[in-house]
Amino acid sequence: MTVTEPRERKELPRLRVERRTVVLTVVLLALLLGLALLGLCYGASWSTPGEVLAVLTGAEHSVVILDWRLPRVLAALVFGAALGVAGALFQNLTRNPMGSPDVIGLDAGAYTGALVALTVLSGTSAQLAVGSVAGGLLVAAAIYLLSFDRGFSGLRLVVIGIAVNAMVTAVNSWIVLRAELEVAIAAVGWSAGSLNGVGWADLWIPFTVIAVLLTLMATRAHAMHQASLGDAIAVATGVGLDRLRLLMVLVGVGCTATVTAVAGPIAFIALAAPQIGRRLAGAAGVPLLPAALTGAVLLQGADLLAQMLLAPVALPVGVVSTAIGGCYLIWLLTKEVGRA
């Protein structure tokens, strides 16, 4: 009896965490389905859930539901999940709840690349995508190189990222001020982050890119979990930290830049979703699945609020996500200061 009791004590916490994660996943998926159904029902004219289900099953046809509302709903879900995963990757990398793409300047860098595509080139969808990814990668490389001084430091990366974010934001403002009036108006409106007018033609390539990136990261989820427990444990279990960190940066930048290329920089989803998901799951580190599901819930919920607040005028979703994220950031900073 004395031999089996310690074993039971060690296994119970692990089983409790796994059960909690499964329950959380089911609850978030149910919430996602409910929000998606509401998004398909809501619009200038209300569609009943029965009408929506009839259209989705092919019994009826509706251009409004299939071609207008469904792309927007799917974009909110997929882009929210991508931003949640990007935030989780950088928060795991920096081991800091402030280490998200929108705080350390990756959003601003992707926006710079898109602005160059808009002002210098013709601003096609392909140019915006390439420009956003290139801008995000350049800023990420600059931050990583500046913060790598006799070893990797997550805190140093966050502090330098905040400084680079401020400088890149100033450059973006200068580009907008120097642009022609029509381009400047379009760039400023797009910079708020919006899903208004998103259609199927805008989504096939981003969805494919995000699917590839998330699948690639899912294959390394166990290694990332080991790394979150400490460098010594990760190295002892055979994790190549340098290659893993490079992969995390590339996937995080790719997800952030892909969303920015289509919808503009949507702030605070990548900051809030991973921490909310981690606290709900009660897990060590910042797990990817809760972060992805929480990001999808937050972005879909924010988009519905953006459509409802000043209906029939639809606000950019970035306005609502910034307001929600600002409240979350105040709470997080208050909590961290109280703990210090």
pLDDT digits (tens, 9 = 90+) for 256-310: 989 988 898 898 899 889 988 888 887 767 888 999 999 999 999 999 999 998 8
pLDDT digits (tens, 9 = 90+) for 182-198: 888 878 877 888 898 88
Superfamily of domain covering 4-339: ABC transporter involved in vitamin B12 uptake, BtuC (1.10.3470.10)
Provide the whole-model pTM. 0.87
List the chain domain ranges. Answer: 4-339
Confidence of residue 7 (pLDDT cuts 50, 70, 90): very low
Confidence of residue 15 (pLDDT cuts 50, 70, 90): very low
Among 209, 221, 202, 109, which Cα is nearest to 161's?
Answer: 109
Confidence of residue 339 (pLDDT cuts 50, 70, 90): low
